[in-house]
Chains A and B, each alone.
Chain A
């Protein structure tokens, strides 16, 4: 049997199993009780018949007989469900009238005036009564024995009928009880459903405790356990955030010292060879800066750290203007024409401005790295069926189609890429996009050259 996964089906099994067993047992008990009642009534009817016969015993000389016309006797022994058998004999056993071979009561039960007994007659089980009747009451002339019997099968039939008639209502009861459990459990679980809805509707950054009031007492330990887990999770996330902030401080200050001292040394040194060495040092320090910044952004963009995300209205175009402008001086030193597409339209999204800014920083940085001098990098914002779209397009080396799926992996770098970048830029872009339920598309740029990265934000209202 497969494991029952819902509480409802388990409860149903636990309740309906015993109910069915009870139904069977009660049916058997009913049968026994019915047999008892049927026996009692049928025995009384047999006795009545025997007494009717006994009341009409007369004596003619020394020979007793039943003083009834054959038609009346016939009427008396024709029971409701078939003919009865009867026999009368003297107390010494001498046959008087009736069915001559009707068996006597078993020897050990022959006591008292009235004796009921079971026996076999003409190969069928029968139920019989033997009644001792005085020949002439008060005369002291002795008595005769009257036996009346009928087939036992009649009684078994009646008992079975009664049992069957009781089985049906009981089956209906079992069914109703089962349905009551089914719906009752559903109603009882509604409290859990409301808790589930509360948890489902939470933003993934909400780690506040679940409200306990109004929930069933049975469910509270579960809620408490969950709240306990939430608070531990929240504490560990806070610790992680503190660690990130501390790590930022601890890493950035020495790198700043390194950069400052290198820059100073380059100003002081006249020797060209030493200058070249310092230039390498400067480049390495810049690289370290980028890696530190990207690692920290990565840590911050990870979903687990989204607790403190500020969602606020952000105009993509205004943000694109600002961020792109900041990159223009660097693009100019590489003789790359970086700009904002004139067709860009304002497009408002609900987002963490810091993270969206970092996303665009990484997209532009990436495009500049893969665009040779005299190339173009264009940032664009547009609206497409209620979706705000942010694009960065370049006419650089482009990304081969079979590499496109891999470029978002952490530390992945295109095989022929230069020394710049550490392979985290696009991973950051993807993390931030996911955090904002946005999708990232990689396309070939206009005219079949370069790359167009497309961030599509969820539809607004």
Chain B
């Protein structure tokens, strides 16, 4: 996994590089937009962490040139500005995610992991959560490598919950995900799937919380 960090603040950049290297990524660092542009043209990266506020060539322009070259490398935009227009502009230009400074490092790491997973989703990826593992391509879940019996819909619900572990997932989001499998799914049906899923996941110590009025949340795994 090779990542490119584009950030002009030296101490912040050093911190990011160290943290990502610690997570076993190979990390390159560019200080200016031009440098980043050259590196992105010369080398294939698995993900790019791109600051918007760069001297001369800004992050938007780097992203624009990158997408014009046809690169599909996932990009996480960093910005010190939080105006909605900035966010919309970044996403319109083809950024995959967006994080406002100052962020929590674990949050950034989680977003980078999610980006890389998304970048590879064509080949299917394995999601893990403590003892629980989900093979999204083979559509198969295991606890401590022992397969558990989940229906296609339960697997769908589990995938969404695992992808957004630690964050609230609404019933609507779950229903949307399941809609892909055929007929429409009501809120009551979702409750039933979650109820069954909870029972089946109990041995793995995985806790699916009900959040009043909002939906469900899969507690973050202990080591995550």
Q: Which residues of A contact B (CB under 8 A)?
A: 245, 248-261, 263-264, 267, 285, 289, 292-293, 296, 310, 321, 324-326, 328-329, 332, 337-342, 344, 353-354, 378-379
Q: Are B12 and A256 in contact (CB under 8 A)?
A: yes
Q: Are A267 and B167 in contact (CB under 8 A)?
A: no
Check A261/B166 contact, CB under 8 A, given A248-B82, A325-B211, A332-B209.
no
B192 at the interface (CB under 8 A from A): no
Determine the distance from Cα of A87 to Cα of B88 in the docked complex, in whole angstroms.
Answer: 120
Per a CB cutoff under 8 Å, which of B16, B166, B217 touches A260? B16
Q: Are A328 and B214 in contact (CB under 8 A)?
A: yes
Per a CB cutoff under 8 Å, which of B11, B15, B213 touches A340? B213
Q: Which residues of B contact A (CB under 8 A)?
A: 9, 11-12, 14-16, 18-19, 22, 53, 78, 80-84, 100-106, 166-168, 170, 209, 211-215, 217, 219-220
Q: Are B217 and A253 in contact (CB under 8 A)?
A: no
Q: Are B168 and A256 in contact (CB under 8 A)?
A: no
Determine the distance from Cα of A353 to Cα of B88 in the docked complex, in whole angstroms.
Answer: 13
Determine the distance from Cα of A326 to Cα of B18 in the docked complex, in whole angstroms.
Answer: 28
Given the complex, which residues of A lie within 8 Å of B53, measured CB to CB? 249, 253
Determine the distance from Cα of A342 to Cα of B210 in the docked complex, in whole angstroms.
Answer: 13
Per a CB cutoff under 8 Å, which of A249, A267, A340 touches B80? A249
Q: Are A245 and B81 in contact (CB under 8 A)?
A: yes
Given the complex, which residues of A lie within 8 Å of B14, measured CB to CB? 261
Q: Are A337 and B212 in contact (CB under 8 A)?
A: yes
Q: Are A264 and B80 in contact (CB under 8 A)?
A: no
CB nearest to A378 among chain B residues: B212
Q: Are B80 and A325 in contact (CB under 8 A)?
A: no
Determine the distance from Cα of A261 to Cα of B100 in the docked complex, in whole angstroms.
Answer: 17
Per a CB cutoff under 8 Å, which of A253, A326, A338 touches B9? A253
Q: Are A325 and B168 in contact (CB under 8 A)?
A: yes
Q: Are B15 and A261 in contact (CB under 8 A)?
A: yes
Check A328/B104 contact, CB under 8 A, given A261-B11, A337-B212, A339-B212.
no
Per a CB cutoff under 8 Å, which of B12, B22, B212 touches A342? B212
Check A354/B12 contact, CB under 8 A, given A255-B101, A264-B105.
no
Given the complex, which residues of A lie within 8 Å of B215, measured CB to CB? 325
Q: Are B217 and A259 in contact (CB under 8 A)?
A: no
Q: Are A257 and B217 in contact (CB under 8 A)?
A: no
Q: Are B217 and A264 in contact (CB under 8 A)?
A: no
Q: How far is the CB of B169 from chain A (nearest CB, A)?
A: 9
Check A256/B212 contact, CB under 8 A, given A245-B81, A248-B82, A328-B217.
no
Q: Are B213 and A259 in contact (CB under 8 A)?
A: no
List 6 A-B pairs, minimum CB-CB distance, nearest first.
Answer: A339-B212, A340-B213, A260-B15, A257-B12, A325-B168, A256-B102
Given the complex, which residues of B lie within 8 Å of A255, measured CB to CB? 101-102
Determine the distance from Cα of A328 to Cα of B81 in the docked complex, in whole angstroms.
Answer: 24
CB nearest to A327 among chain B residues: B168
Per a CB cutoff under 8 Å, which of B80, B106, B219 touches A248? B80
CB nearest to A260 among chain B residues: B15
Q: How far is the CB of B7 from chain A (nearest CB, A)?
A: 8
Check A342/B19 contact, CB under 8 A, given A254-B9, A329-B167.
no
CB nearest to A358 among chain B residues: B82
Per a CB cutoff under 8 Å, which of B12, B102, B170, B211 touches A339? B211
Q: Are A252 and B217 in contact (CB under 8 A)?
A: no
List 14 A-B pairs, Cβ < 8 Å: A248-B80, A256-B80, A260-B16, A260-B19, A263-B15, A285-B102, A321-B214, A325-B214, A326-B167, A328-B167, A332-B217, A337-B212, A339-B211, A344-B213
